[in-house]
Amino acid sequence: MSKSLIILLKVLISIGLAGLLLYLVFRNIEWVEFWERTKTVDYSWVIASIALSVVAYVARAYRWNILLEPLGYKLRTSRTTLAVLVGYLANLALPRLGEITRCGILKRNDNVAVPSALGSVVTERIIDVFTLLLLILVSLIVESERLFTFLTTAYQDLQIPNYVVVIVIIVLILGMTGLIFFIRRQDKLKGKLAALIKGFIEGLLSLKDIKRPIGFLVSTAILWVVYYLMSYIIFFSLPETSHLGLGAGFMLLITGGIALSLPVQSGFGTYHGMVAGMLLLYSIDETTGVFLATLLHTSQIMAIALFGSIALIISFIIRRRTAKKETN
């Protein structure tokens, strides 16, 4: 099977799964009531949420710069911001494609080795996972009763076979064993695969050598505070949700973060269903919950499409100018 056909199948499966999930979420929605809510939206809050997303993009790019510095790359934040935006745009086509794409943009425009860049991206994602887990712990304090109710309600019928647990444990053990082996034996490895693995491990371990730890912590804090505000202020765009407090904002951030981390194209269906389900705990009816989730999700998708497309065009211009300089 050709590589292009495999990619096409992945895209079709991803789109099909997203479509199925969207159907399941929207099948019981009263469409007349749903569209009536568009007339009650205060779109100034939606615009403010989109504007805040720009801050998040820049904060993520700045933090990525800090991870790339120990690897010998000192880039302008504007260049990594372009790569981050193009990566987000690529994620609209296929889940997790963005991580590879943004590394490719840096390789093409700034000659950053892809394996090293990819390793730093993995490090970045690990930090985000730990941050999300920390926020979940905060929610256990802030909204403990509602969180436990949500988890019990959402997963009470979920039964995981024992063999699945065993397989997951075996894969994790083999993965850790392989990583330790390659770290210990990387000096003896040769060839393109060895170079790829070495670069990946180098990027993965870049966190321990960062030169600006305070900047890394501050940019991480800014990133997640902005994520929180982007979600929370959307509550004020609808009369039915404008009364929800800071605790509900935490729940929205966490629920949305989990939904977007699942291997479904851009969170289509998973985001809508999980956010609407969470809002039921605050006595927000299903139609309103799905509408708010759609409003927040769609506005951010539109922002990514707009800013990502602009970044892609700028990246092409940069590459073209660089190519002209190299030929002269």
CA distance 231 to 328: 49
> Does the pLDDT at position 193 exceed 80?
no
* Cα 45 to Cα 215: distance, rounded to the nearest angstrom: 29
Nearest in space to 60 (alpha carbons), one of 114, 116, 107, 102: 102
Of the given ranges (5-14, 35-44, 318-327), which has the lowest mean pLDDT?
5-14
Q: With 50 as the cut, is the pLDDT of residue 108 above it?
A: yes
Q: Are 64 and 80 in contact (CB under 8 A)?
A: yes
Q: What is the mean pLDDT of residues 321-328?
A: 71
CB 24 within 8 A of CB 274: no
Residue 85, Cβ density class (10 Å: 0-12 exposed, 13-18 middle, ≥19 buried):
buried
Nearest to 106 by CA among 84, 123, 125, 122: 84
pTM of this structure: 0.78
Return the sign of the alpha-carbon dihedral for residues 62, 64, 70, 72. Answer: negative
Instruction: Report the range of poorest mean pLDDT among 22-26, 95-99, 105-109, 164-168.
Output: 164-168
- Closest to 244 measured CA to CA, from 321, 142, 160, 156: 142
Decide: 270 and 20 in contact? Cβ < 8 Å: no
Judged on CB neighbours under 10 Å (0-12, 13-18, 19+), 46 is buried
Higher pLDDT, 3 or 134: 134
Burial of 62 (0-12, 13-18, 19+ CB in 10 A): buried
Model confidence at 313: pLDDT above 60: yes
Lowest mean pLDDT among 47-51, 84-88, 153-157, 219-223: 153-157
Task: Of 81-85, 113-117, 150-154, 314-318, give the lowest mean pLDDT range.
Answer: 150-154
**CA angle (157, 158, 160) in 5-degree steps:** 145
Q: What is the signed CA dihedral for 101, 320, 304, 135, rounded to 10 degrees?
A: 50
User: Distances in Å between the alpha carbon of 155 and those of 145, 148, 150, 181, 311?
Assistant: 16, 11, 8, 37, 40
Average per-residue pLDDT for the chain: 81
State how far the Cα of 244 lies from the Cα of 38, in Å rounded to an integer.
19
Report DSSP state, residue 38.
Answer: G
* Residue 23 identity: Y
pLDDT for residue 197: 60
Given a contact cutoff of 8 angstroms between Cβ atoms, the answer to whether 250 and 143 are in contact is yes
Task: Give residue 158's pLDDT.
Answer: 45
Q: Residue 269 in contact with residue 21, Cβ under 8 Å?
A: yes
Please report how many Cα atoms fall inside a 13 Å half-sphere around the Cα of residue 184, on the Cβ side. 6
**Closest to 84 (Cα-Cα) out of 70, 99, 68:** 99
